[in-house]
Structure 1
Amino acid sequence: MIGCLCLHGFTGAPWEVEPVVKKLKKNKDWLIYSPTLPGHGPGDDLKGATYKAWIYAADKACAELFKYCEKVYVVGFSMGGMLACYLSARYPVEKVVLLGAAAYYVNPPQLLKDFKIAAEARLKGAFDNEDPWYQFYSKKIQETPLTAVYEFTKAVKTVRPFVKEITIPSLIMQGELDGLVPVKSAEYLFENMGSREKRLYLYKDSRHYLCHGPDKKRVLDDLERFLKNENKPRIQGGNET
């Protein structure tokens, strides 16, 4: 059996990688696991969460999959992408996919553009509590405790050195309009991985939530083809075509 661990990002939840989970679950002989990291579940408090707890939870989830599966893939989004790097260096993972992985974070120029779009829409009354832009800024910018942000930075700094130890086939996926994780993060991962087989795909119309944005279908198709060895020829480091 093939197992696939899907890890969400900082302040997020499994819904961030839910489109990946749904697509891969169509493979009936695959076991897909998408855990909720400590402090991120309903009723949980990020103020009490620590970077060590996030790393431990990801480690434990990966170890559990290996108990039931002959092969294990890891897909990580944002901070989950960095945890995926750690797991790929520590365990005999077959393949790893990094979605907007936060080796570096906050792209100020794009973030300012996004804020302007959000502010203009807000003034026009375009937002309500269900609007994804409203939810995004409310959660990521306004409500996140500073203590949790500090733990996030420690998590990234702790697992970043493991990037060079990755030697397995790797797919790095990045939105060019990402206001939280800059393109240089993806470029850093691509340049520093020890993998002989590695790909970097950039999506020109996507922001941070690659699995929920305008390039969603291409992102999911590229991801599945990579995991199932069905990739079409692409230019390493090139834009999505």
Structure 2
Amino acid sequence: MIGCLCIHGFTGSPYEVQPLADYLRDHTDWKIAVPVLPGHGETLSLKKVSCTEWLDCAEAALLELLDECETVYIIGFSMGGLIAAYLTARHPVQKLVMLSAAAKYINPVQVKEDVKMMVQDLREKKLHENELFLRYREKLLMTPPGAARQFQKVVGLARPAFKKINVPVFIAQGTADGIVPLKSAAYIYRRLSSAERHLYYSPEAKHLICHTGNTEELFKKVFTFLSE
């Protein structure tokens, strides 16, 4: 049996990776696991939650798959991509997929464009229709400073892991991502020890790469990479 662990991002939920998880369920008989990291989900409760708890949660889900399946893959989105890399360096994972992985974060050029669009929607009294504003408004209000520091600790733990990874890796990055800049994907690509590594830029995709841009093309590329 093949198992696939999908890990969502910081202040996120399985929603972020659900379209890809559903695609894999529809096209395979794999066992797909999509855990909710502590303090995350549709209602955030991140106060006093440590990055160790996030790592332990993802690792527990991975160990369960490794116990049940002969072959295991990991897909990680944003901070989940960093957790996925950290785990891949420590466990017998066969392939790794990193989506919008936040080794570096905040793309000032795209943020400027997104803010410009929000201001325009505000003037036209359509801000309540701006999906980016609606999705991140609550996150900004509900994310304590301590949680942001825990996220930074995950980044610090993941970066040294890149050079320890030698399994096949597929990296995908949206060209219109306002959270993670394009250079993050290139940074990860250069530091991997993997002989097989792929770097794909999804045209016009924003940070939520499984929900924006040409998702069908992205999902097909991920599926082909994992299936070959």
Q: Tell me which interval the TM-score lies in, with the shorter structure as reference length.
A: over 0.9
Alignment-derived partner of residue 223 in structure 1: 222
Alignment-derived partner of residue 177 in structure 1: 176
> Per-residue CA shift, 1:200-230, capped at 9, x if unaligned?
001221111111002211111111111111x
Deviates more, 1:47-56 or 1:80-89: 47-56
- Between the aligned residues of both structures, percent identity stands at 42
> Per-residue CA shift, 1:126-156, capped at 9, x if unaligned?
232x752222330343432211111111111
> Per-residue CA shift, 1:151-210, capped at 9, x if unaligned?
111111112110110100000000111111111110011000000000000122111111
TM-score scaled to structure 2, two decimals? 0.95
**Where in structure 1 are there 5+ consecutive unaligned residues?**
230-241
Alignment-derived partner of residue 119 in structure 1: 119
Alignment-derived partner of residue 149 in structure 2: 150
Counterparts of 1:152 and 1:159, CA distance in 2: 11
Counterparts of 1:186 and 1:44, CA distance in 2: 27
The one-letter code matched in structure 2 to 1:58 is A
Deviates more, 1:180-189 or 1:110-119: 110-119
Counterparts of 2:138 and 2:152, CA distance in 1: 17
Q: Which runs of 4+ in 1 moved over 6 A?
A: none
Counterparts of 2:192 and 2:21, CA distance in 1: 25
Q: Compared with structure 1, are the counterparts of its residues 28 and 227 closer, same or farther at alpha carbon in structure 2 (3 Å cutoff)?
A: closer
Deviates more, 1:167-176 or 1:105-114: 105-114
The one-letter code matched in structure 2 to 1:189 is I
User: How far 1:44 sits from its partner (Å)?
Assistant: 4.8
> Per-residue CA shift, 1:93-152, capped at 9, x if unaligned?
111100000111111221121111122113212232x75222233034343221111111
Counterparts of 1:138 and 1:171, CA distance in 2: 31
Q: Compared with structure 1, are the counterparts of its residues 203 and 165 closer, same or farther at alpha carbon in structure 2 (3 Å cutoff)?
A: same
Alignment-derived partner of residue 25 in structure 2: 25
Residues 59 and 87, structure 2, Cα contact 8 Å, conserved in 1: yes
Counterparts of 1:139 and 1:200, CA distance in 2: 32
Counterparts of 2:43 and 2:202, CA distance in 1: 34
Residues 4 and 74, structure 1, Cα contact 8 Å, conserved in 2: yes
Residues 118 and 130, structure 2, Cα contact 8 Å, conserved in 1: no
Residues 2 and 31, structure 2, Cα contact 8 Å, conserved in 1: yes
Deviates more, 1:151-160 or 1:70-79: 151-160
Residues 175 and 206, structure 1, Cα contact 8 Å, conserved in 2: yes
The one-letter code matched in structure 2 to 1:161 is P
Are 2:204 and 1:205 aligned? yes
Alignment-derived partner of residue 61 in structure 1: 61
SS at match of 2:74: strand
Counterparts of 1:123 and 1:69, CA distance in 2: 54
RMSD: 1.4
The one-letter code matched in structure 2 to 1:146 is P
Alignment-derived partner of residue 163 in structure 2: 164
Counterparts of 2:139 and 2:78, CA distance in 1: 13
Q: Compared with structure 1, are the counterparts of its residues 44 and 118 closer, same or farther at alpha carbon in structure 2 (3 Å cutoff)?
A: closer
Alignment-derived partner of residue 12 in structure 1: 12
SS at match of 1:47: coil
Alignment-derived partner of residue 89 in structure 2: 89
